[in-house]
Amino acid sequence: MSSYRDLAARFGDANAQVLGVSTDDLATQKKFAESLKLPFPLLVDDADHSVAKAYGVLMAERPFASRVTFVIDKDGLVRHVFSSQTDAVRHVDEAMRTITSVAREQSN
């Protein structure tokens, strides 16, 4: 999340909205967001993890979701999915690359 925080201005310049979603409870999310000084909202999945299930990211062996980045365009179309538990910087790079590509595509 800190990689997204550090590049928040670039996402804003690209007219992209960053949102985080977690299966953690509200108190945990709030503490996490405050500790990292995140400039974007973190959303809390409900108790039955319906968002994680809908996006297919709930890990069967653990009660939490895997780390996945979705780039969704203004029409609700999923343009890119990147999954990695360990390569946080690549999540940001892939998202920015996709956002830039979609913006170019829409301007033509």
Question: Terminus-to-terminus CA distance in the chain, angstroms?
Answer: 32
* Average confidence (pLDDT) over 84-93: 84
pLDDT in tens, 31-87: 999 999 999 998 998 888 888 888 888 776 566 667 889 999 888 889 999 888 878
pLDDT score of 91 more than 90: no
CA distances from 107 to 100, 101, 103 (A): 11, 10, 6
Amino acid 108: pLDDT: 76
Q: How far apart are CA 68 and CA 27, in angstroms?
A: 22
For residue 75, what are its two tokens? 């029409």
For residue 85, what are its two tokens? 């538990």
Residue ranges and CATH numbers for the domains of the chain are 2-107 (3.40.30.10)
* pTM for this entry: 0.78
* Average confidence (pLDDT) over 83-100: 87
pLDDT in tens, 4-30: 899 888 888 888 899 988 888 899 999
Contact present, 38 and 1 (Cβ < 8 Å): yes
